[in-house]
Amino acid sequence: MALTGRDWLALGAFMLACALTSGLGGVATATSVNSWYQTLTKPAFNPPDWLFAPVWTVIFILIALAGWRVWRRRHAPGGTLALGLYALQLLLNVLWSVLFFGARAPAAALVEIILLLTVVLIVLELFRRLDTLAALLFLPYPLWVGFATVLNAAIVVLN
């Protein structure tokens, strides 16, 4: 299927939505990543701080592409639901940063990230039904959020 001007605009919109999600999460994170967060006891498997930004950058690019591919199939059965839940997971992604870093509430963030992971897994399955490549592009996201869930839980236990 040839790309139209509307397709390119939609791709830009998905990239922008993911960039805004990343930026808003970054603003919330910046409030305490170099202060309060450094005082927490973290598990041995906690990645170095410098790793988070590049991983999230790649993930946001991949999920923007995945979302756009599904948007191109939005009229297929399940397309509207998939895109609605995609939007919800972006909001939940920002909310986790607000709770964990902004509110400095790891326990509340743990409850929220379990919800985020659940929605992300549902989106992955809906994407799989609509577009295999979109699901493959989206796959690193639930893997990373799953890891982040375990990391969040460990921080709650250790602190």
List the CATH number of the domain containing 76: 1.20.1260.100
Average pLDDT over the chain, rounded to whole? 97
* Position 1 confidence tier, pLDDT thresholds 50, 70, 90: low
Model pTM score = 0.94
Question: What proportion of the chain, given as a percentage, has pLDDT over 70?
Answer: 99
- For residues 132 and 153, the answer to whether their CB atoms sit within 8 Å is no
Q: Which residue has the tokens 């999230």?
A: 56
Q: Residue 123 sits in which domain range? A: 5-158
